Structure 1
Amino acid sequence: MQDSESNWINIADVMSALMMIFMFISISFLYQLLSEKENYKAELNKALHREFDKDLVKWEALITEDNIMRFNSPFLTGGADVLQAFYEILQDFFPRYIKVLSDAKFKSEIEEIRVEGHTSNGWGSTADAKDIYLKNMQLSQARASNVLAICYGLDDLFIKNNIKWLEANLRANGMAFSKPLYVDGSKTEDTQRSKRVEFKVITKDKID
């Protein structure tokens, strides 16, 4: 009886040890993935800044720490038509942006290139919350789609050579006022800055 109990204790000890080993391997694997993701993010940020820093002021644009390219208020209030000034910016910006992203060290990890339209929270004198949301959703989607259409249709050799990749990865999303920007240090919406178009890279999730 004692030998039987001793055997069970030994098996339990072995199982506990194996579980601990598995846990440490899992933690090490997750840490490696997170480190790789942070390194990727940092390298992409450097590449974007190298390419676009000299243009950001004249474009009224910025690059966030999360590698979002943000263009402030490129539309007339309530309008979805791309203005000539922003059209010319897109002609310059987008081919260069895709050249950065299509670099071998970035391209294989890209799941999606997202064009997002954002609005402020309001719609003239309209007071109905549902109506305000739906109108802003329609507007932001129209803006994002119009920007994507211009980028996709540019008469640029590099864009044409990468058109299949863009078709598989380029998306337009209307965000309405779901992600407002705030006046620094407050919870007050910065309505002017909230009206924006963003280009965002979504990377692949390696954990299934």
Structure 2
Amino acid sequence: MFSWLARRRRRQGMAAGNEADQGSHWLAVADLMAALMMIFLFLALLHMVQVERESAVHTEVRNEAAALRAAIYSVLEEEFREDLPRWNAELDRDSLTLRFREPEVLFERSSARIRPRFEAILEDFMPRYAEQLRPFAEVIREVRIEGHTSSEWAGSDDALEAYFGNMDLSQRRTRAVLEYAYQLEPLQEADWFRSRVAAVGLSSSRRVLDERGEEDRRASRRVEFSVLTDFEARLLGAGAASDEAGPRPLEARGR
């Protein structure tokens, strides 16, 4: 009798021990899960802070870019407001492009020779243009002189031949403009301008279309002066820079 009671008590004690072990096991698992959850929450919070920080930096760069581009447009518009109509030129706010739209005034027919009228315009325009841009030299990546043509090419109906013929012509024309500008005394001392200006011939790759979607050959033949800023590069690098030092202040005729 006593032996049976002893065995029963031992079994009850073992069962209670097993239940206690299982309870301790689940308690340890619960503690581990709670610790992991705290780690995940910390990492999520850290990521949110980093995203907000980078967003703030990007917003600051974009706002500064918009303000300075508006300032560049403002000084150019004020300087050339009265000249644009008589030059048959226009100033585009969004692209900071000053466009000369009178092909008969610009160059000799099928030639890179600058007409006297355009020489007179360049002599007046170029020094003033460089002077107005000088205060923004730190944020100007490039001042680009672009030559554009229509898709027309005398003596050939082959589109590829016309394209490359106009490419050569547009390149020679922008180089002629740049060479003429370098001869102007005020620009010979404008080192910042000379280090940033570039002449680019784009052939008929950016033709002007009319309201019917057809090429306007006359409007396509033009010379443009565009200001390219470095805000895009600064924006791309803003996130990395913010990790180290916080936000830093700051873009013709083929016949």
**Under a length normalisation based on structure 2, what TM-score does the superposition of the two structures give?**
0.76
Say if 2:152 is the partner of 1:122: yes
Q: Residue 70 of structure 1 aligns with which residue? A: 99
Q: Percent identity?
A: 31
Q: Hey, what's the Cα distance between the residues in 2 that align with 1:15 and 1:33?
A: 27
Q: Secondary structure at the match of 1:80?
A: coil
Shift of 1:167: 2.9
Shift of 1:161: 2.2
Q: Pick which of 71-80 and 44-53 moved more.
A: 71-80
Q: Residue 83 of structure 2 aligns with which residue? A: 55
Matched length: 202
Task: In structure 2, list runs of 5 or more residues that go unmatched.
Answer: 1-28, 238-255
Say if 2:137 is the partner of 1:98: no
- The correspondence for 1:40, drawn from 56, 68, 91, is 68
- The correspondence for 2:117, drawn from 75, 85, 95, is 85
Distance 1:186 1:26, change over 3 A: farther
Q: Which amino acid aligns with 1:21?
A: V
Task: In structure 1, list runs of 5 or more residues that go unmatched.
Answer: none
Q: Residue 199 of structure 2 aligns with which residue? A: 172
Q: Hey, what's the Cα distance between the residues in 1 that align with 2:212 and 2:58?
A: 35
Shift of 1:29: 1.4
Q: Residue 24 of structure 1 aligns with which residue? A: 52
- Contact 2:150/2:220 (CA < 8 Å) preserved in 1? yes
**Under a length normalisation based on structure 1, what TM-score does the superposition of the two structures give?**
0.93
- The correspondence for 1:145, drawn from 161, 175, 190, is 175
Aligned-residue RMSD, C-alpha = 1.2
Shift of 1:15: 0.6
Shift of 1:186: 3.2
Describe the superposition over 1:65-107 as per-residue Cα deviations: whole angstroms up to 9, x where unpaired: 121011112123322111100000000000000000002xx11
Q: Residue 224 of structure 2 aligns with which residue? A: 198
- Contact 2:137/2:192 (CA < 8 Å) preserved in 1? no
Q: Hey, what's the Cα distance between the residues in 2 that align with 1:45 and 1:38?
A: 11
Q: Hey, what's the Cα distance between the residues in 2 that align with 1:123 and 1:87?
A: 25
